[in-house]
Amino acid sequence: MKKDTEYRWLRLQFALAPVYFLAPAFLLFAVFVLWPIVQSIWISFHEWSGFGAKAWVGLANYRELFGDPDFHISMANNVRWLVLMLLAPVGGLFVALFLNQNVRGIRTIKSLFFFPFVINLVVIGLIFSWFYNPDLGLLAEIFRLFGLEPIPILADENLATYGVILANLWPQTAYCMILYLTGLTSMNAQVIEAGRIDGAHGWSMLWNVILPQLRGASFIAVVVTVIGALRSFDLIAIMTAGGPWGTTNVLAYMMYQESLFNFRMGYGASIAVILFLIMTVFITFFLRSVVRNERG
């Protein structure tokens, strides 16, 4: 009899295991990540100051958004970020190839190359703002060295965005570099030797033998860089606050301003929804590969 209840208890706890093992993680994730997405979409169909009642306005926020010049600037900047940040995987690959040697002290050198990635973007933003400062920055010193008038990069409406992107390329390249270094060190040496015997070297070797083996690293480097580029917020907040005259704005920062400074939660939410939809494309791309690995 006792044996029987014990057996039943064991079966029950086994059958219910997914429920109680998942409960805390799922509840937290659902309340603070999943449900807020649904709520934001709902809010985007309303006019709301953040206090009091919401007024249903249908697609009015989206209609206004598509005609808003700030939105066009932000979108264009998001595209600039997306394209230029892809220099990070490329740069990371070349730095990794350069560092993939067995000289003395290389381990320390590799980690020194990597560590910008660990530093928070507030500090990186401060450092680069200071670099670009036309009165006391290093860039200004270099300009003066050549007898040129320093350019106030972050105050220049045509250059400011590129200045901010450059600051972000620094840690992102470090990250891509480490992905490629790991890929290079775990690479099949026999394939490389076989390639050498077949007469491949230099570029042809890189293109035909090495890069195909680095597919996994490239995939992660590109996906993470693209998602990071679309998420860019911190550096803009620190370095330019969207200025000069809104020319460095991106969707993420515009959303923050509209919601928390102009108290237009509905309008802000509609910007967030657009950003979310754009990112969903890349997230889906990543998920497909993960799920395929799972099944295959």
Site for another protein in 51-70 (CB under 8 A): none
Residue whose tokens read 């560590």 = 115
Site for another protein in 233-292 (CB under 8 A): 233-234, 237-238, 251-252, 255-256, 259-260, 265, 268-269, 271-273, 275-276, 279, 282-283, 286-287, 290-291
β-strands 55-56, 46-47 pairing? antiparallel
Question: Using the rule CB under 8 A, is 227 a contact of another protein?
Answer: yes
Site for another protein in 112-171 (CB under 8 A): 112-116, 118-124, 126-128, 130-131, 135-138, 141, 170
Cβ-based nearer residue to another protein, 76 or 205: 205
- Minimum Å gap between C-beta 165 and another protein is 16
Question: Using the rule CB under 8 A, is 83 a contact of another protein?
Answer: no
Site for another protein (CB under 8 A): which residue of 65, 82, 164, 209?
A: 209
Cβ-based nearer residue to another protein, 66 or 98: 98
Site for another protein (CB under 8 A): which residue of 36, 55, 83, 263?
A: 36
* Helix 265-295 / helix 60-67 crossing angle, nearest 10 deg: 90
How far apart, in Å, are the Cα atoms of 267 and each of 139, 167, 283? 39, 30, 24
Question: Using the rule CB under 8 A, is 204 a contact of another protein?
Answer: no
SS3 at position 195? helix
- Minimum Å gap between C-beta 105 and another protein is 9
Do 230 and 82 contact (CB within 8 A), yes or no?
Answer: yes
From its phi and psi, is residue 58 left (phi > 0), alpha (psi between -120 and 50) or beta? left
Q: Measured between alpha carbons, how far is 226 from 236 in angstroms, rounded to an integer?
A: 17
SS3 at position 104? coil
